[in-house]
A and B are shown apart, each in its own frame.
Chain A
């Protein structure tokens, strides 16, 4: 269905993204593209419908043929009825403002007769199960709904191939399930060929027929999921587990892994309960903290305290009030109730001090970290950060090195990878040596190795007495990196306890390892390996 024939893609002044890659994706397969950040997953996806190089520039040698049409002489618009392409941020790709109109847009462009359009819109609404959203404005939809509408919008042109770039990365676990269910329906019932890239491999690998691995040297390796994942340099928990335990085959789902555990008779000792360490002094205390926007109640009178040296995960579905709470804790969003940040013997409210002082009390790395950057070079940003915090020159650069990111000082912050940019922003925010550090959704766009690096950084920060709060959808990251978990729902705190208690008590928040070894409260592969008899 999709044939890459000796394809080399390169941009000026950099090594080729793909070099002499040849593979054939058969009709009806669900192929997951894996690889570390910056190995060219998005470029490869774009090459399937000709966006690369027709739209993005660069040069492509060799040939990409989809359903008999070569991208050499077909522009992306000429392939619209063969390939449906959904980008990383569905909202940015919407052309109209209503669900129904958006679904019809592609067909209008193809010039289909109105009667056909009407029928196909109805079919597509039902196929993606979004009939009740038909008259809703696109801006009012939740992340999962937007993703499903975006898929529906390309499906209406009845393509044979669906290309999805990170379809579930921004979603909470439940919304990700919805989207994935929709995608599997398309593969199994409609017979579409689906190619998708995803960082959170644990969410999609169970559905994968084949895996296309980009090792980063320009080659591309396509093969059955189990075989390729056993070698690839991306390690979702199931891969890590099977490698640690020396299993011959990588289980693709929790069910397979559980069966393997049962048949092999693997028995674990229950993990040692955490030594009840003495909790650090309270660094941040909130009482009846409320945030409202107009008549929307985002955070409803939350009372809680956070100790220094503690890493807390803040979880909950999209729109549960996590971000609002974080911004309120920093004092950057108007809120009611009391916030007191204790440094030494004094307590201060970040809302009542200057912005400069507030960031010394509480520092926030927001979800769109790039908003904080505005200079042309990494060097400039570091120097500006030193000036802002009145610290000696080179402080920020030194922190950046300590974070393990040796960035070229002359590079433009926009050109950095997601992980590098996060490191830069984190370094800038740490330059003020705050007592409390907040990170809003930091793992978005990070691969497994980068997440491990972030985990180490956070652990070091906590060890030096900083109070760290991380809001995240990534249960695997929360299970590995945090000691305490607070779950928000509907603006209220609905669960608060050690990560082990909270994460193993409900299937929605349980990491895969915990599901495999249920009822033992094992959180990570390392713990499981320690408990192996």
Chain B
């Protein structure tokens, strides 16, 4: 009698039991990738007042955030930016209803009118509220709100500290200062809470100025102590050791100054002077190139190295490319379809949706699928 013995085709290798330091599949995308993408989206929405396009882009940005954010503390900040965005719209609406200058068109309702005396510049408060005014306010404030949400998205997706770690060497000392400043704020809050709690132990009887000094002085003393300890720690671990004592060459300095001026001028021309896009872009581009060269040259005197820098791979290129494409599409739309991008204020009309707008929103949404997932234990 023969027995059939099942043969295992491929030996099954059991996965090792995960321990607390097992490295999990996945990685976070380079912080500068996210910042480039978010700034691209922000520039794109800054070119339009079309509510449909604004809504589409914000939806795309939020989708990307929800799909790729980690469980880290900074990832929760997107909610705060949403609140800020709503506040912007609310404040603008309040002023439009009370002070606002736009009073023509379809009247929705009329607020009681108050004429201020002549010394207050004769402003009149209240009056008729029109559909046009409300729509204009929502779309104009909505543009700013959408830009805020884009910046919030960058904050939520990229650890600000890691972003600062990846600056060119020339800005290294600056980034260290910023990182330390970032950590001082929570420390000040922590020691403030501790000292206030300690005040109660002494009865907390003092009031007024004395009560303020009673909290502020120990908190500041604490902060100074801490910063001295930190400085001692950094010094004894070799901070600034590779710093070449030579000064940055005069040529490099002049070049950097000129480059920054070019960047400023170019930005100003691009945004402020209509019809001179080419000259502006030229100045901006030239300035950026000169800045990069200058930073590289002045960065040579500091020989710090980077431990496990965030890799820059194709997902980052795609993310950055999405941001650039969004700007390009928005620019093309603004050039060829000005009425669709900036709908006329009156008469009030349903905003038109150009097919390229849908493409723009889709492009902004691409990073939600084109980037790797962060590791499971960080999600």
Contact = CB atoms under 8 A, between A and B. Distances in A.
A356 B213 contact: no
Closest 5 A/B residue pairs (Cβ): A93-B233, A104-B307, A80-B238, A371-B198, A109-B238
Interface in A357-383: 358-359, 363-364, 366, 368, 370-374
B304 interface: yes
B336 interface: no
Interface string B238-249: 111110000000
Interface of A: 49, 51, 54-55, 75-81, 83, 85, 87, 89, 92-97, 100-101, 104-114, 117-118, 121, 131-135, 153-154, 157, 327, 330, 332-333, 354-356, 358-359, 363-364, 366, 368, 370-374, 384-385, 387-389, 414, 428-429, 432
Given A110-B241, A114-B307, A77 B235 contact: yes
B87 interface: no
B369 interface: no
Interface in B323-379: 377
A118 B308 CA distance: 7
A104 B308 contact: yes
Contacts, number: 165
A28 B206 CA distance: 56
Given A368-B194, A374-B213, A355 B204 contact: yes
A105 B203 contact: no
A332 B229 CA distance: 30
Interface string B88-123: 000000000000000000000000000000000000
Given A118-B308, A121-B307, A374-B218, A49 B236 contact: yes
A366 B233 contact: no
Interface residues of B, number: 49
Contacts of B309: 114
B229 A89 contact: yes
Contact of B201 (A133, A364, A384): A364
B202 to A, nearest CB: 6
Contacts of A388: 202-203, 205-206
Interface string B279-310: 00000000000000000000000011111110
A110 B306 CA distance: 11
Interface string B173-206: 0001001100100000000001101101111111
Main secondary structure of the interface of B (DSSP, over half): helix
Interface of B: 19-21, 161, 176, 179-180, 183, 194-195, 197-198, 200-206, 213-215, 217-218, 221, 225-226, 229-242, 303-309, 377
A113 B237 contact: no
19 contacts: A80-B237, A92-B226, A92-B229, A93-B232, A95-B230, A96-B161, A108-B304, A109-B240, A109-B241, A110-B241, A111-B305, A121-B307, A134-B21, A157-B237, A327-B197, A355-B203, A371-B218, A372-B198, A385-B202
B339 to A, nearest CB: 50
